[in-house]
Structure 1
Amino acid sequence: MATFIHDHPLAPPQPPGIGLLTPLRRWINGIEVTNRRFAHLICRLIPCCCPFERDLSLLGRTIHIPALCKLNPVYDELVGLRFRALSYLADRCGEDVTPYLC
């Protein structure tokens, strides 16, 4: 069973109250990175920066697409998980993590 790390200094702040996504946020924050292959997988799957907002022209109309990080309600938790994976690779495994940086 995963140990939750709400009080960890790298954990994103928890929103006040209990929302529908609070269990998911706690679960993501509780994931410990202790495996090199898992850390590499996390770094490949979670992008290093938020995709930019865009304006698309489609059939003469302009459609505004907001930044995707604003649409993802667990974005902060995923970024924290990616940071923990990068830290594990750099600190514990001694690997060069520059390929995963923006």
Structure 2
Amino acid sequence: RSGNDTKAKEYLNLVRRRAFGDTNHDITATGTALTDFIWKERRVELMGEGHRFFDLVRTGKAAEKITGFTTNKNELFPIPFEEIQFSNGNWQQNPGY
């Protein structure tokens, strides 16, 4: 998110050329549209590898895309009870757990 659309398109199109074997599917978008293409390409490339949930939380789109997702609760996981005990009172359980 450095604002370097040219470099971002270069890397994105390298991935797309590897996948499609040609330049017919190159992306020419800039700004927000380019960012949307990057997130979509990431979703397709990493399908089934467990990144989607964290990407949706990171971008603030989880509540919109995941049925039953509760903002300010489901972004955090519960801290295991043993970890809280070992912290000598320095850690508290995450809200909602």
| Structure with the higher strand share, 1 or 2 | 1
Higher relative contact order (CA 8 A, sep 6+): 1
Per the normalisation by structure 1, the TM-score is 0.28
Determine which structure has the larger helix proportion and give its number. Answer: 2
